[in-house]
């Protein structure tokens, strides 16, 4: 007998991939709407993992100004960070999010809002692994 098959290296789920957007997006100061950075995913099947890694890199001079959210393709909002960090610079952190109820395919958005005056920054990059 013979056995044939395929193997995808680099992911525990047999096809896990990391999607990244490295385009800088300036975050308007003291603004409740915020800005988004989009990652479009296609060609996948099923739902995202229950332990999806979302890596955030935001350059900012006062991280406590920031509300950071992940918006799923269907519009569901997952809050990653809500005005924590005080006067510390930047948010460089990987969050683990349960996205098992979300289809992988579609446009994922990282949304950042700066909710206090004076200090400013920008989304430097972000990625999602699923």
Region binding Ca ion by CB under 5 A among candidate stretches 2-10, 88-96, 98-106, 113-121: 113-121
> What SS3 state is found at 65?
helix
Q: Does 69 bind Ca ion (CB under 5 A)?
A: no
CA distances to 22, 47, 65, 99, 124 from 114, in Å? 20, 31, 5, 25, 15
Among 19, 67, 119, 127, binds Ca ion (CB under 5 A): 119
Among 125, 128, 129, 130, binds Ca ion (CB under 5 A): 125
Tell me the C-alpha distance between 73 and 128, whole Å: 13
> What SS3 state is found at 30?
coil
Residue 98 corresponds to which tokens in the numbers above? 């349960």
Q: Which of 13, 17, 96 is nearest to 52 (CA)?
A: 96
Q: Does 24 bind Ca ion (CB under 5 A)?
A: yes
Q: Does 114 bind Ca ion (CB under 5 A)?
A: yes
Contact mark string toward Ca ion, 39..68, x via CB under 5 A: --------------------------x---
Binding residues vs Ca ion (CB under 5 A): 22, 24, 29, 65, 114, 116, 119, 124-125
């Amino acid at each position: 007998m013979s056995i044939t098959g395929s193997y995808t290296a680099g992911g525990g789920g047999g096809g896990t991939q990391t999607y990244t957007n490295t385009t800088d997006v300036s975050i308007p100061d003291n603004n409740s709407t915020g800005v988004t950075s989009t990652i479009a995913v296609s060609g996948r099947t099923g739902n995202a993992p229950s332990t999806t890694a979302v890596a955030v890199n935001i350059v900012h001079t006062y991280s406590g100004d920031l509300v950071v959210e992940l918006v799923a393709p269907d519009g569901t909002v997952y809050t990653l960070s809500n005005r924590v960090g005080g006067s510390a610079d930047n948010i460089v952190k990987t969050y683990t999010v349960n996205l098992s109820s979300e289809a992988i395919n579609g446009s994922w958005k990282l949304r950042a809002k700066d909710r206090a005056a004076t200090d400013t920054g920008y989304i430097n990059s972000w990625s999602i692994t699923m």
